[in-house]
Structures are given as C-alpha cells and as structure tokens.
Structure 1
Amino acid sequence: MDQYPTIKLIVERGDLLAAIVGILPFLGALALFAFGVHWLVIVAGVVAAAVVYLLMRSYVELVRVMADMLIPK
C-alpha cells in the first residue's frame, strides 16, 4: 500500500476526512449568513452538508472495498 499514499490516507483517515469535507458547506453557509444573506442559506447549508457527508462516506467505503480486494498486502 506504500505505492499508493492517497489511497492509504483515505483508507486510514477516511472517516475524519468525510466529516471535515461534510462540514464545509455548513461553514460556508454560516459565512454567507454573517455577510447578510437570508437566513434560509443556513437551511441550505445543513442540507448540503448532509448530502456531501453521505457522498464522502460512500466514496470512502468504495475506496476501502477496492483497496481490500485489489491491492495486495
């Protein structure tokens, strides 16, 4: 697995990576709200954060399955 450092990072730290990437839309929505955009942007940020988090979790799981099946240990 040393040949593939990015896959190794995703396999080992994928849960944390998914959480960090998932929270970014919400933080962006909070920043927009702080600049005076309508409060509904926070609702959109929560929905977007949930969708991005679920997509990242599924990506991490797919990478883990592929790494287990295809990369020799």
Structure 2
Amino acid sequence: MADPSPSPRSDPPKAPRWAKVSAVVVGVLILLAVIVKLTGLGGDHGPGRHMGIGETPSTGVSVIQTSGGHPAAYAPEAHR
C-alpha cells in the first residue's frame, strides 16, 4: 500500500515561469550593456554629445592675460 503522507524531505516549491523569464531577460540586458560599454560600440556619451560641432561648454569664466604676464580669472557677469 502506498504511503499517503508526504515525505519529510520534499523539494521546495519552484519559481513561477514569469519569474524565470524575467530573470533571463534582465540578465541578457545587463550582459548586453556590459558588452556595449566594454567594446565602445555605444559611442561617446555625455553632455558634449548633444552640442554642435566645435562648440565648447560655457562656464561663465574667461581667462585673460594681465600686464604682468599672469593669467587672471574674469567673470563678465560680476563686472556689470
């Protein structure tokens, strides 16, 4: 006769299919991001990427040459 009681050493419940699929998709996306970052296929990123060619970011401070030959900081907004 078969024993109707479960064995004391039963397997833990398995993860649902949606959890497994989500974990695989996230893993693939992370792996893809690492490959793109390491190979440089993503191109240059940062604020300079969205500026026109030849433009430099303006900080509002210019360096001018003084009569003594030493550079001095000049903030045009402060002298108005």
TM-score normalised by L of structure 1 = 0.35
Larger % of strand: which? 2
Report the structure number with the largest CA radius of gyration. 2
Larger % of helix: which? 1
- Using CA pairs under 8 Å that are at least 6 residues apart, name the structure with larger relative contact order, 1 or 2: 1
TM-score normalised by L of structure 2 = 0.32
